[in-house]
Structure 1
Amino acid sequence: MTTVRFGTDGIRGIAGETLTVELAAALGFALMQQHPAGLVLIGRDTRPSGPALASALAGAIEAHGGTVIDVGIIPTPGLASLVAGEPRAACGVVVTASHNPVEYNGLKVLARDGRKIPDAEERALEAAMEIALAEPVQVAAPSVVHAAEAEEYRGRYARALAALAQTVSAAGLRVVVDAAHGAASPFAVAALAATGATVLPFAMGDGVINDGVGATDPAALGEQVRAHGADLGIALDGDADRCVVVDAAGRAIDGDVLIALIALDRKRRGVAGSERAVATVLTNSGVERHLAAHGITLERTPVGDRHIAERLAAGQGGFGGEKSGHLLFTELSPTGDGLLSAITVLGLVARAGTPVGAMADAVPLDPQLQRAVQVPPGGGERLLMEPDLQSAIREAEVALAQTGGRVLVRLSGTEPLLRVMGEGPDRAAVTAAVERLIEVAASLVRGR
């Protein structure tokens, strides 16, 4: 029997290989076990594999008593806001692999409130999907939603972006926005232009999603910013839940620094809950100390924006984020939204009257190094528990602790990778520790 596993951000795999239409249909069946006769909103990014996966998902939902509204191409946070604002909706699913290359795709399930579903619900879906995969799932020809209805749903999201943007005065700023040829392409320019800024579009859907562009590869955006003499650049990822900022020199601002700048701006403006910020175990310790010096407590969670969202909800709201560019504003959206984040950043820069690069330079960071090793599919947990690797981890922990540093070794929740992060005031010691761990892990992988 096939083993189904949700990672930190839904189910992902290579389309047609490890992520198939059969898997999408199984998810449709499983959702109807949890939400009998429920309404499910479906959206997707721009991957060529998306329509077939969305069709199989919708067909299985409708064959098992549910109703589907296929919204089409829309950012993950856009669908999340639609689910949260649609009283009839039981849940939502976005067909996307976010920042991954085009050959990947994924299935992100959103709860009734627009947030990512909790672990217990994921486990229940996994069990139901495995039952469904044991024998063919019934799939109906999905009903066709009139294009005007889908457009009305997309319009709701566009109007929400414009409403926030109109509270920001960014006239005079020139910004290049990189949509990664992804789901934000139909929305990004209008949303940022509503702030009053001059918006220069880049990677707006006429190329391959995430291919040398977007939040995980902002170098091309940096070149565009310099070429146009822009004040800054904004890079989104394939499903537009991440936001990466590039300064006027084309330099990508460290994601932890961006968290600090936003937290400090919220504190200066007296935003409710601004005495705390939530980030993950990966966030740089220099940021934690800097925020503490300004009366802001940094709370840490496991890696994954879902964990940040849960902590924020438990603490009555506020702001949090990940180094990767997931930024969450509980007063604005149930999930991280790259376009809402971009609008917020434009407001921050306009209010400060200072180049974003200069503001970033004022935030101190400890030297930090992150590396990764490819692991065989399904073999990551065994590798992590290998005695030789565990021994090397303990040695690295002891070595870095002597200078106030730390090391973190974990499995990626979205790719077959073992990730190693080292941090501390002694750059040479951090580099040596991380490289040793990578060497041990790679040797163990080669030896299998």
Structure 2
Amino acid sequence: MDVNWQADLDRWLAPFVAALRHKTRARMCPAYIAGLIGPGDRKSIQPMATRAGEVNYDQLHHFVTAGVWDSASLEAALLKKADGLVGDEAGFLVFDDTALPKKGSHSVGVAPQYASSLGKTANCQSLVSVTLASHEVPVMVCLRLFLPESWIDDRERMARAGVPKDRQTALTKPEIAIAEIDRVIASGARFGCVLADSGYGSSGTFRQALSERGLLWAVGLSRRQNVYPADVALIFPVAKAGKRRKYHIPDQPPVAAEAMLAKGKWRRVSWRRGTKGRLTCLFAARRVRVADGHKHRMLDNRVQCMPGDEVWLVGERRSTGEQKYYVSNLPADASLKMLVATIKARWVCEQAHQQLKEELGLDHFEGRSWTGLHRHALMTMIAYAFLQSRRLKAAGEKKNRGTAATAEHAGRQASHPRPLRAASTPAMPAL
């Protein structure tokens, strides 16, 4: 491994340092990020300061938790860097959650809540993550803390943790995601399709917000979500007595997503090569209209949601017996293979989560404040983007030397890098 990575880091961080506009902060930012990248298992402030030597604990701690600087300018610089690395009209913007397990109850946002990475409810902080990706190469561009109800209902607790006034309100994860989509679009970062799991995709408001912005999307869906066949028609039923109905109603009843595909044609589809060979599962797809339109009261006094826009409903049957469902507004002529490849492109964010935690210490921050947590998360994302830039550059140089490396191989190297052995000189670890 090139031992001059720190000199490269200083050059690469120039836009971030310029955005800080302060001599001392201009020293602390590279020192903090170098501490995250450099050797050592623990990436909290104390051990990083001990290893650095040039800066002390108080300086690093003040920079992250109390320094007077605005993260927005660094977040904008990160988006610009990410777009330069993986921005692509055929790329993806991926939304997901990542959990940071915590003990106690004082760290901002900590509460017993479902942690997808653990597959169970645990005492943790839950962050909405935003990843820009193309050719299987992810660059994470945002991490935003979700505040559970137990925090929203406790103003004093939020004040102690330094939660900003504009965030001391109940926001769902899809609502947080929509605000971040607008920020990414405003930055000019390029992507072609939004991906998300069912925690976001099951929200009709989230899907409608994506469509209103003219975006393509492929998201997870609850198997219980009601849908109509694509050929559903709206009719005026003839009333035997009383006033004529004012509104149309569907001529067919809705059924659950899993029931809609139960008798469909299931085909085995492969979407990419994994470490143990091609990844394949059984998939089925059908054009439907999701029952997420305006609500009407039916003749039998039931309240029923009307059909929405026509979309693809996709089902997946895994070898374990588990079934997953997805919905997408990709064109009506999209092939099943295209639908599957798009849906499965979401996995790169899970790789990014794992690498940010295991190699860059995303979950090592020991402070309790809103500001400290978000600044630490921002530093880990900047460090990750720098490492991705070096890997892509190295893969490109290897290809130019006449090797058989392809763009797809370069993507796999960036998303499945092989750790290197520690050198006698502090070397940059490969995630």
TM-score, structure 1 normalization: 0.23
Q: Higher strand fraction: Structure 1 or Structure 2?
A: 2
1 or 2 for the larger relative contact order (CA 8 Å, sep ≥6)? 2
Point out the structure with max Rg over C-alpha. Answer: 2
TM-score, structure 2 normalization: 0.24
